[in-house]
Amino acid sequence: MTALVVVGAGGFGREALDVAEAVERAEPGRHDILGVVDDAPSELALSRLADRGVAYLGTIDAWLGSRPSARYVVGIGSPAVRRSIEVRLQEAGLQPETLVHPRAELGSRVRIGAGSVVCGGVQVSTNVTLGRSVHLNPGAVIGHDAVLADYTSVNPGAIVSGEVRVEEGVLLGAGSVVLQGLTVGAGTTVGAAACVTRDVAAGVVVKGVPAR
């Protein structure tokens, strides 16, 4: 059994808990979910954790000071914040856990990087590569031969078409679409419901139909 801690008490942190709990129901004894750490949880988030019987373990530094041996998953939607937290955890010698909901549909030859979270209702086609700490939110669809680099976040209902390359740290908004064969540059944000019809440069924000 693997001891597991979720980093992040907010919305996606609790969704990551849902995935871990679903995995445990499907594979009893897979995880011992110890609780959640967060540097600045809201009162509402703490209340919602308490309501579901999940322990708040304190700040990241306080938890690291206890010399933990658990694995972790970072349940924070922002790619940049997620990356900075992972650096701290890696420097402390901790290892990430990968979570894939039993109701996610994965095609053949799918590679999933360490620390990634794949939620229920996700569809991933054939020959897809997901980098480290990629988040696929509920209802996301990833087409054949797509490559999603480290720290990509694909929000609910977004569609990545076949042969797309999404570079590191990209956030694809809810319901957005990236058409086939395109590249989305590192650190870019694609707005909700946007349709990407041509390559997108690094470090920009695009929105609309077509996305600009």
- Model confidence pLDDT, tens digit, residues 38-80: 999 999 999 999 999 999 999 999 999 988 889 999 999 999 9
Asked if residue 212 belongs to a domain, the reply is: no
Same domain as 62, residue 125: no
Residues 83-112 as b/e (b if ≥16 CB within 10 A, e otherwise) read bebbeebeeeebebbbbbbeebebeeebeb
70 is written with which tokens? 């658990």
State the CATH number of the domain containing residue 185: 2.160.10.10
What's the CA gap between 178 and 158, in Å, rounded?
8
Same domain as 71, residue 17: yes
Are the beta carbons of 120 and 139 closer than 8 angstroms?
A: no
Range of the domain at 40: 2-96
Asked if residue 91 belongs to a domain, the reply is: yes
- Model confidence pLDDT, tens digit, residues 93-108: 999 999 999 999 999 9
